[in-house]
Amino acid sequence: MESDINYEYVIIGTERYNFIMARDRFQYWVLFMIIFVLILIIALVVWMLYRQSDTNVFVGQPLNTVPYANLETINTLQGAVPVGAAFHGPNDGSLFGDATVCNANVTSTWNVSLSTCNCIEPYWGSTCNRNSYDNKYIGAGNYDPSFMVITPPNILPPIMNKLLECTTLCDTTTNCNGVVWESTSSLPINGVCNMFEELTTAQFRTIPYPLGVDSTIYVNQTKESSLVYLNRVFLYSGALPLRYWLKDLVVSMFSNLLTVSTNIVYLLPFFPTGSVNQTFLVGVYSLIPFTINDYDTLLLGGDTPTTYIDQGGQLQLPLGWQYQDIWVMYK
C-alpha cells in the first residue's frame, strides 16, 4: 500500500556526484553541524583563555605602578611635532571664552575674525598651558627626585624660556640623551633645563605618565636605554612600545612585551626577539621547567640544545624554540 506521506527531498553534491536526502533529515544534519562547530569554537576560546591565564601567572607582585596605562598611553605622541611646528589639540583655548580673558594669558591670543582664543605656538591645550616638543624625543613622564637619579653630561642646568630650546641644546651637547624640564612658575614659559646622560629609577618604581599633564622627562627616541631600571629586563617581540616600562605585560597583534624582575622564574607568554637590559643582567632560558635553585647550575652548563644564556644583553634565542614553552630567569 502506497504511503499517503509526501516526502520532500534535497539533492546534495554536484551534478555528477550527489545523493538525495529527505528534507527533514537534512535540516537535522545542518543543525547538528552548526552545534558541532559552535562547540569547537567554544572549546578553542576556553583553551586560549586557559593558556593565557596559565602563561601570565607570575610569582611575586607585579612591578607596574601605573595600572591605568593602556596601549594608547604607552604609545601616544601627544604634543610631539617636528621642530618649527606646533601641536594643536582639538580644544585649544576653549576655556577662554572672551577676548579679555584670552589676551590676559601670556600663551594665548584672541582671534577677532573667528571669535575664538588661539594658543600661541608652541603651546596648546584648553588653557594653552601645554608645551609641544621635538618629535625626536619621547615625553617619558614626570621626574621625582625621591626615587630617580640623573647622571648629567657635566654641564650646569641653564634657565630657558621654552622646552624646545632645552631639547635643541641637548642635541648639540656631548653625552646628552634626554632632559628634565622643570618649570620655574605656574606658566609653561620659563624652566630649568637639566640634561642627563642616564636617568636611573629605583627598584620596584616606575616613571609615572599621566596623560592630562605635560611630561617633565624627555628622552631621545634613539637613546631610550638611558632610562635605567634596576633589577628589570624588558622582553619584547614586534614593535617595542614607546613607554615600555608602564606595563608588565602587553600581548597584541603587533607588539608583545613582558617585564621580567630578577630572581623570578617566568613561563614566557610569547617568543621574544629583543630585550632592553640596561644593567646587563644575565638570563637563563630553558625548554625544561626549572626553579631559582637551578639557575647557577644551568648558567655554569652554558648553551645546550635546551638551555640558552643571555649574557651581553643581545638576546637571540634559537629559532627552533619559537613554538615551544620557554622558562626564563634573570639575575
Give 57-81 pLDDT, tens digit per residue: 343 334 443 444 555 678 888 889 8
CB proximity list for 7: less than 8 A, separation 6 or greater: 22, 23
237 and 277 in a single domain? The answer is yes
238 and 312 in a single domain? The answer is yes
pLDDT for position 241 = 87
The arithmetic mean of pLDDT across residues 105-122, rounded, is: 92
Q: Which of 41-45, 60-64, 85-89, 152-156 has the highest mean pLDDT?
A: 85-89
201 and 148 in a single domain? The answer is yes
Domain for residue 64, yes or no? no
What CATH number corresponds to the domain at position 159?
3.50.4
pLDDT for position 55 = 39
Domain for residue 28, yes or no? yes
Greatest extent of the chain over all pairs of C-alpha atoms, in Å: 111
Q: Give the residue numbers spanning the domain of 298.
A: 233-330
Domain for residue 257, yes or no? yes
The arithmetic mean of pLDDT across residues 311-331, rounded, is: 91
Domain for residue 279, yes or no? yes
Q: Of 226, 256, 279, which closes a domain?
A: 226
The arithmetic mean of pLDDT across residues 9-32, rounded, is: 63
**How many whole angstroms separate alpha carbon 214 and alpha carbon 49?**
38
Give 146-170 pLDDT, tens digit per residue: 999 999 887 777 777 788 889 999 9
Domain for residue 280, yes or no? yes
Q: Of 177, 196, 226, which closes a domain?
A: 226
**DSSP bridge pairs for 329:** 284
pLDDT for position 69 = 52
Domain for residue 32, yes or no? yes
pLDDT for position 254 = 82
152 and 100 in a single domain? The answer is no
The pLDDT confidence band at residue 43, using thresholds 50, 70 and 90, is confident
Domain for residue 221, yes or no? yes
Looking at the 3D structure of the chain, how many domains does it have? 4
202 and 237 in a single domain? The answer is no
Of 3-17, 46-60, 103-117, 217-231, the one with minimum mean pLDDT is 46-60
Domain for residue 177, yes or no? yes
Average pLDDT, the chain: 83
Task: Report the first-to-last Cα separation within the chain, whole angstroms.
Answer: 88
301 and 251 in a single domain? The answer is yes
Give 246-295 pLDDT, tens digit per residue: 888 888 888 899 999 999 999 999 999 999 987 889 999 999 999 999 99
120 and 208 in a single domain? The answer is no
238 and 326 in a single domain? The answer is yes
Does the pLDDT at position 7 exceed 80? no
The pLDDT confidence band at residue 5, using thresholds 50, 70 and 90, is very low
Q: Of 191, 226, 261, which closes a domain?
A: 226
209 and 270 in a single domain? The answer is no
214 and 188 in a single domain? The answer is yes
